[in-house]
Amino acid sequence: PEKAIILWTFGKYYIIIFYDSNILTSDSMTSKDLGRGGEQMVEETIRTIKETENEAEGIIKKADAACTEILDNAKAEAAEMVGRAEAEAKSEAAAALEAAKEAGRKSEQEAMDSVEKEIATLKKDALAKESEVVSAVIEELV
């Protein structure tokens, strides 16, 4: 008949060894010999499990370190991208401001040119009418 022994529990997992009880009556091995071999097998299994746990712990630590490094790199890259975007936005804003100032100066100059032309036209008209006015004033006086 088959029997089982639980050797180790790992969270919700169990390591179970099944063996045939008929082996215990074999001529080549006594139950005492099997017990010693079984102990050695249990010890080896436990050692293997502990080594596997240690390896898993090492893998988890490496993964955690890699995760931290990836996050740090992502943060640094994001900060660099924000810095570049801010610099680009400032540069674009400065260029737009300068273009607006230039457009303002141009409009102001056009307005000044228009006013100067109007003043020149008014002076010309006034000079043309000056002789008429002087003649009219003299006629009134005489």
Distance linking the first and last C-alpha atoms of the chain: 157
pLDDT band at residue 59 under the 50/70/90 scheme: confident
Q: What's the pLDDT at 72?
A: 94
For the chain, give the mean pLDDT.
79
Q: Rounded CA gap, 17 and 3, in Å? A: 8
Is 0.75 topped by the overall pTM?
Answer: no
The mean per-residue pLDDT over the stretch 41-63 comes to 82
3-state secondary structure of 17: strand
- Reply yes or no on whether the pLDDT at 117 is more than 80: yes
Q: pLDDT by residue (tens digit) across 74-110?
A: 999 999 999 999 999 999 999 999 999 999 999 999 9
CB atoms within 10 A of CB 41: 14
